Amino acid sequence: LPPNIPQANDCRGGWYLERWSLDLSYLIIQFVQQRFGSESSGSAHYCRNAEPRRKWFEILFPNPKFGLLQDIREPSTSFLETYQSIALLLPTSQGYVNDFSLPANFNDDPGLERRLLLDINTGETFVLNAKEFLGQYGPEQVFDPAKSKSFTNLTEPFRQAYSPLLNSNISVVGGYVGRDKFQLFLRQLDEKLAVVTTFTGAAPTESFTSPPYAGRVGFSKAKDPKTNIRDALLANLTARLLCLHVGVNADESIKTTLISIGSHSYNEKNFRTKINASTSVYWRFDVPAVLFDGNKYSADFDAILTTTKDVIVVQNTLYSRLLRKLGAKLDPKRKQYVVECGQNYDIKLLIGGAEIPIQFGAYTERTQGNECRLKVEGSLRNQLILGAPFFTNNGICLDYDNNSIDFYDSTLHDELELVSGISENNGTFKSVVVENLK
């Protein structure tokens, strides 16, 4: 949900929506109850201590696997604009598509490496507090400020909401802001970060492919976040660049995951195109056309890149065509669309004059035998949410000075020397993870 939605004092444990219309709110409740049945039917009530001239609406979802999938505007958007479409949120599972994370060492235990989920859609950075979450997650997934001699509690409250449109699930975190000395991505920092003591909804540090992370590090274009780790990491580098990609070889036997800051991470021969992003806090841009199965879908598609969602979202006309062409069937037990594996239909995006493919092997995932889960969702709006499947063999470099995005081919070629590790060379910091898939 947009992070500025206020919380009424006597309403806890849910998500708060502005009540523009009782009829509209009633229809949403009816939809949830009819669509998901008793397992996740919503209950609703008013939050009475809200602002005098406003009433606020709460929908509680007992099953965290389900929720509202909304179209997105800016964080200040109204309920009426935001909730134009409602769809099923599907739980994620593993494949060769993955998320991105950065290594961190904190002063509570400097020898223990933690990892923070890289989030390019929010500006805030947080860690889970050991006092509340050690027993649930273990020492590698939490931080203990009481054991860090350099930590200072700034007594500033912290709250951040994570929208299900740009994340795999909905969650809201709360805690406080502190300051500490720590190492992140080989850089020594003395910066503010949030310590999360509570969350509602799904765990905000869940991974697609590994155990939960210790927190998140925000890399959106937000101007003044409370915890600006992004600018600290990019300070005094040759260029304020963040590059990301997943590379898979031709027979899908080897995968590399790359994160780099400070310079472009690609060879010139692999460059595809460069575009300017919108002025939004998100890495957002226009896509004039999408190609699939010989058909061209022309519109001003509103595209947003996200590193924290395991699917892509396309407009419903294209989505319907894709379901028919792939022979998709709904698995009623898993509440997922499945298709036959081994098909060869790429979704091609026209970006800056270049055709950039989202490969069939990236937007599907083998579940059993020749059955593959479809990692695509539909939207009522002309939008493209480019989640983790997009980054397979498609690299990006985000330029925080010029508000531009470079796109490049990150396909893994067998002749490349493959070495995992974290390194620094002439002001460029790079993390490479090499995995055997077979």
* Predicted confidence (pLDDT) per residue in 28-75, tens digit: 433 433 443 333 323 233 333 333 333 323 333 333 333 333 333 333
pLDDT at 417: 62
Extents of the domains making up the chain: 101-234, 267-411
292 alpha carbon, distance to own chain's centre? 25
Structure tokens, 129: 């507090």
At 43, which amino acid appears? S
Q: Is 268 left (phi over 0), alpha (psi -120 to 50) or beta?
A: alpha
328: confidence class by pLDDT, cuts 50, 70, 90: very high
Fold of 101-234: Cathepsin D, subunit A; domain 1 (2.40.70)
pLDDT higher than threshold 90 for residue 177: yes
Structure tokens, 265: 């991470």
CA–CA–CA angle 356, 359, 361 (5° rounding): 165
pLDDT at 288: 98
438: confidence class by pLDDT, cuts 50, 70, 90: confident
Q: Which residues pair with 178 in a beta bridge?
A: 153, 193
Find the mean pLDDT for residues 119-131. 98
At 294, which amino acid appears? G
Q: Which of 298-302, 332-336, 338-342, 430-434 has the lowest mean pLDDT?
A: 332-336
pLDDT higher than threshold 50 for residue 267: yes
pLDDT at 252: 85
pLDDT at 414: 64
Buried b (16+ CB within 10 A) or exposed e, 143-169: bbbeebeebeeeeeebbbbbbbbbbbb
Q: Tell which residue, 410, 389, 320, 291, has the closest CA to residue 92.
A: 389
pLDDT higher than threshold 90 for residue 318: yes
Q: Which of 15-19, 97-101, 107-111, 417-421 has the highest mean pLDDT?
A: 107-111
Beta strand pairing status for 187-201 and 271-276? unpaired
Report, in this order, helix, strand and coil percent for the chain, each rounded to 5.
15, 40, 45
Cβ proximity of 238 and 261 under 8 Å: no
The contacts of residue 350 (CB under 8 Å, 6+ apart) are: 287, 288, 289, 290, 291, 356
Note whether 101-234 and 267-411 share their fold.
yes
Residue 256 CA to residue 254 CA, distance in Å, equals: 7
Domain spanning 267-411: which superfamily?
A: Acid Proteases (2.40.70.10)
pLDDT higher than threshold 70 for residue 178: yes
pLDDT higher than threshold 90 for residue 208: no
Provide the percentage of residues in the chain whose pLDDT is more than 90.
71
Residue 173 CA to residue 171 CA, distance in Å, equals: 7
At 311, which amino acid appears? V
Find the mean pLDDT for residues 268-286. 97
pLDDT at 416: 62
Residue 137 CA to residue 159 CA, distance in Å, equals: 21
pLDDT at 338: 97
The residue among 120 and 70 whose pLDDT is bigger is 120
